[in-house]
Structure 1
Amino acid sequence: MGASVLVATISSAFGVILIAATELIAAILRADPYVGDSGTLALVLSFLTYLLLGVAVYVAAIVTANTFATVVAGRTRRIALLRLIGASARSQRAEVARHGLAVGAIGAVLGLVGGTVVAAAGAELTVQQLGLDGVVYQLVRPEMLVPPVIVVLTTWAAAWVGSRRVLAVTPLQALGGSVETSHEVVARRTGRAVAALLLLVSGTGLLAAGIALGLWDPRGVIVAFFGGLLSFTGIVLGSTRLMPPLLRLVGRLFGRSATARLAAENALRYPERSSRMSIGVVMGVTLVTMFAVAVESAKVLFAASAGGEVPADFAAILDTFATVMMGLMAVAAVIAGVGLVNLLTIGVVQRRRELGLLRALGFSNGQVRRMVLLEAAHVTITATLTGLVLGIVYGWAGAQSLLGTVPADPTLPREPTFVLPAVPLVPVLVILVATAVLTLVAAVVPTRIATRVAPVEALAEV
């Protein structure tokens, strides 16, 4: 549970730092004679703070739920044995939920303390660097308890959701080695697939309607926002159907060797496990890419409406905003990366018998290492490409629906302006480099564990 504690800690600390930063910015604005006590600015700052906190908690909840679901899948035999001697499914699920509550509480406390220390140091440095000695602000506020409480509750709820498979474990499974749901079983579950398809189709329709409405009214962004929310929820819900084929397709690019083919087929054999590992990275990459593309597309829209180039000062402001937002969204990407490392490690631990059998059949340590590394590469490359595509679509849709009728010069009349998505090169390159680093980091611990598996010991495990 170490990685889950880290996820909860990062989420809690992120929320605490955001609230402290909001208070400092509000204090600076209050000290400005031209701005003063602007209620609108305070409202915007508060909304942005809790929106970003909500995104981080949302990603952390999905990562935590996937982690607990993977842990429960690995404990199928143990849970079945306890059921065999009289334990109820609900008592077993309650035990997992209590673990989630403990993980959330530990992470929340660590995040509160660490976030407060970082916020205090950052505020002091900002005041000294900008010469804001006259600015009065209150660093420690009651609102700073909100993020830790939210983290505890969401981690608890995520553990409860992730442990729902406990209810389906039967005492007879104590005699078998069933761990993960197979591709055939997932294919027979049509209810979730239908719900995901409906969300995706309705969300895509709203997204298109928001873009069209944005050519006449900036409020089209509201329709597009709900369209993006519904469509992405559909993608997350249907990830067990969407991600495994994509992972297998990317896996074919690594050749037809035994290690490459095994790594590719593992993605399709257990679609729940592979989708859990990839969907968090998809979310992180989508969020970072979305803001970068939205700002770049906004500059193109303003240039098209003005009939020329965007003023350098205005472009610099947009770039600064994009950098700040991408930096904040990078926290969600870090949470997703931690989840990937944790799930890949748990997966290797749970596959000791499989790895032992491969070693007994003649696989060398080098081949086992390459297989695990290729599995990590499949996940990160597929998730990154999927996230880039989704981020480009959502970022462009947001800019187009909001600014499709807003001229760069307020004195000019409003006219519909339509542009194609603008993709900034530098953020994309940074994401690709981060993907390569994540692949290597995610494979370090699992490959080390995989090569320590002795064939005889692994095959003797029951």
Structure 2
Amino acid sequence: MRAGLREHAATVVVSALSSLFAVTLILFTGILTASIDPALVESQGTFYLVLMMVALIFILIALYVGAIVTANTFATIIAGRTRTIALLRLVGATSNRVRAGVAGEGLVMGAIGAVIGLVLAEGLCAAAVAWGPSLGWLPEGRDYPLFTPLVIVAVAVVVLTTWAAAWSGSRRVGKVSPIEATGAAVELRPEEARRRSGRTVWAIVLIIIIGVSLLALGILLGLITPLGLFVAFLGGLFSFTGIALGAHLVMPPLLGLAGRLLGSGPVGRLAAANAVRFPDRSSRATIGLVIGVTLVTMFAVALASYENMVLSAFAQDPDMAATFRETLAITTAVFTGLVGFSAVIAAVGMVNTLSLGVLQRTRELGLLRALGFTGDQVRGMVVAESVQMTFAALGFGLLLGVFYGWAAAQSLMGFEVGLVAPAIPWPILAGVVLFGVVLALGAAAVPSRRAVRVSPVTALAFD
């Protein structure tokens, strides 16, 4: 079950990014605290603990996104290894043993990536401490911490999260039968995906029964007390987890709608059909980007709405309003950058899933060439699929982000201003859309070149 580096590149990159992010936040929290008063770090005073709690929130967000991306990556790898797994089952290997082997790959790749991230983070923080005082960023003569036991904990959590995500992503191993040893990559078709009643029921429960109910309750409580934010937060967490779990049902209709933008030509029609023909593959490629777009949009809308609500409450105090606006502008920039890091992790997942999909579709692409498709048409089809997935993810993520952001601000400040419309930070949303367009083109660059190199002979000799 040894896979090529190409299969596991995304897992190493995601775990490295997660480790880099977590360790850097932890160390910079100590550095920032020491720049104010070194005694606060040693005594772990209130300021240090508050900063660490804020850092922990963003670390958990990055780990959440990374876990979904890793699980989807391994689910894609399993689909491509159907023949190998079936052969192992044929010669007597049990599904648990094969699955343990796949999860073990996740553990190893997660450890490699986490160590790389740790080294990069330590180097980044060491450079900041060495050059920061001379550049005027940090006070001179301070003892800045470059290690804390929390760093080891963070690295271990990244490794364990990657292992757990790999185990989750390999759950289809037990459903691979020896007869499938004669085939290639196997993906569930729409009718098969819809028959997974257990997953569908759990998705509905998490989205509607738990998630939406808690969101509504949090918004109503927000009209009385700011503690409604905690209830709304749980509602958002449960509902979005349900969306991720039921992505095979949620994303295909959105992909079909986005597919209408590709035109009526053979390339566009085939690309649109491919996106909905295998809903599991398409949902794995898009749900990570949906998460990234939702997170960035949610924080931007929440902070913009919160700003409007507070400024409305400070309408009679211009000095306080001006001070608040300046402070919130800095906070918005910092939070957007921190959440944007999770969006980058999600983007890595989409690029990798699309690339793996092209690798596993050698026979399909070769047959298209045998039927008369030119290299440019095959390349155009792959690019069109990427554009379709990106547009669907962008549209859905923006809608979810606006709603979740408004719900967060409303549940926090509703008792001061009542029910108000969400504030839309158009520059940030425009940046998100621009990022999505660049991602769509960049994600398809390497896979499209690889697709063109597939010859008709390859398709005919694949089995």
* TM-score category, normalised to shorter length: over 0.9
Q: For residue 101 of structure 2, what is the amino acid of its counterpart?
A: E
Change in Cα spacing, 1:246 to 1:318, as seen in structure 2 (3 Å) is same
Q: 1:344 aligns with which of 338, 354, 364?
A: 354
Retained in 2: the 8 A contact 1:9–1:108?
A: yes
* SS of aligned partner of 1:87: coil
Structure 1 pair 307–381 and aligned structure 2 pair: CA distance change class (3 A) = same
Q: TM-score, normalised by structure 1?
A: 0.94
How far residue 176 of structure 1 moved from its aligned partner, in angstroms, is 3.5
1:4 and 1:373 map into 2 onto residues whose CA distance is 23
Who is 1:448 aligned against?
449
Does structure 1 residue 21 correspond to structure 2 residue 28? yes
In structure 2, C-alpha distance between the alignment counterparts of 1:285 and 1:144, rounded to whole Å: 28
Check the 8 A contact 1:304/1:417 in 2, yes or no.
no
Matching residue of 2:101? 95
- Counterpart amino acid of residue 404 in structure 1: G
Q: C-alpha displacement at 1:224, in angstroms?
A: 0.7
1:368 to 370, 378, 381: 378
The partner residue of 1:198 within 205, 210, 213 is 205
User: Which residue of structure 2 lines up, in the alignment, with residue 153 of structure 1?
Assistant: 160
Q: Partners in 2 of 1:36 and 1:10 — Cα distance?
A: 28
Distance 1:392 1:373 in 2: 28
Secondary structure of the structure 2 residue equivalent to 1:419: coil
Q: CA deviation at 1:452?
A: 0.3
| Aligned CA distance change for structure 1 residues 370 and 226 (closer, same or farther; 3 Å) | same
Q: Distance in 1 between matches of 2:9 and 2:206?
A: 34
Q: Deviations over 1:187-230 (max 9, x none)?
A: 11222112111111121121111111111111111111111111
In 1: Cα distance, 2:184 partner to 2:307 partner: 57
Partner of 1:332: 342
Decide whether aligned partners of structure 1 residues 454 and 178 sit closer, same or farther in structure 2, where only a CA change above 3 A counts: closer
> 1:91-121 CA deviation, whole Å, 9 max, x = no partner?
2112211211110111011111111101221
Q: Distance in 1 between matches of 2:185 and 2:439?
A: 30
- State the SS of the aligned residue for 2:345: helix
* CA drift at 1:36: 12
Q: Which residue in 2 is equivalent to 1:50?
A: 56
Runs of at least 5 residues in structure 2 that lack an aligned partner in the other structure:
1-7
In the alignment, structure 1 residue 420 sits paired with structure 2 residue 430: no
Query: Partners of 2:133 and 2:205 in 1: how far apart?
Result: 51
Hey, what's the Cα distance between the residues in 1 that align with 2:138 and 2:128? Answer: 14
Deviations 1:131-155 (A, max 9, x none): 5014332112222112211111111
Q: 1:5 aligns with which of 9, 12, 24?
A: 12
- Cα distance change on mapping 1:37 and 1:78 into 2, 3 Å: closer
Aligned residue number for residue 411 of structure 1: none
1:166 maps to 2:173: yes
Question: Match of 2:328?
Answer: 318
Secondary structure of the 1:311 match is helix
| SS of match in other structure, 1:180 | coil
Assess if the C-alpha contact under 8 Å between 1:300 and 1:419 holds in 2: no
Q: 1:306 & 1:104 partners in 2: Cα distance?
A: 49
Letter in 1 for 2:442: V
Matched letter for residue 223 of structure 1: V
Match of 2:398 among 377, 388, 393: 388
Three-state SS of the structure 1 residue aligned to 2:37 is: helix
> Which residue of 1 is the match for residue 262 of structure 2?
254
Deviation at 1:432, TM superposition (A): 0.9
Deviations 1:381-402 (A, max 9, x none): 1111111111111111111111
Write the distance in 1 (CA, Å) between the matches of 2:185 and 2:462: 14
Contact 2:185 2:361 in 1 (8 A): no
Aligned position for 1:408: none
Aligned partners of 2:296 and 2:138: how far apart in 1?
A: 32
Contact 2:410–2:419 (CA<8 Å) still a contact in 1? yes
What letter is aligned with 2:270? L
CA contact (8 A) 2:79 2:186 kept: yes
* Contact 2:185/2:360, CA 8 A, preserved across alignment: no
Please tell me the residue identity of whatever aligns with 2:296: V
**Distance in 2, Cα, partners of 1:12 & 1:32:** 27
The within-5 A match list for 1:214-253 is 214-253=222-261
Cα distance in structure 1, aligned partners of 2:221 and 2:133: 44
> Do the aligned partners of 2:18 and 2:66 also contact (CA within 8 Å) in 1?
yes
| 2:35 and 2:138 in contact (8 A); partners too | no
Alignment of 1:124 onto 2:138: no
Deviation track 1:25-44 (CA, whole Å, cap 9, x = no partner) reads: 221332699x9978332221
Task: Quickly say closer, same or farther: Cα 1:163–1:31, change in 2 above 3 A.
Answer: closer
- Structure 1 residue 178, shift from structure 2 partner: 5.6
Partner of 2:216: 208
CA distance in 1, matches of 2:89, 2:462: 21
Q: Any idea what SS the aligned residue of 1:209 has?
A: helix
Q: Residue 181 of structure 1 corresponds to which residue in structure 2? A: 188
Q: Distance in 2 between matches of 1:142 and 1:36?
A: 13
Q: What is the distance in 2 between the residues matched to 1:145 and 1:216?
A: 42
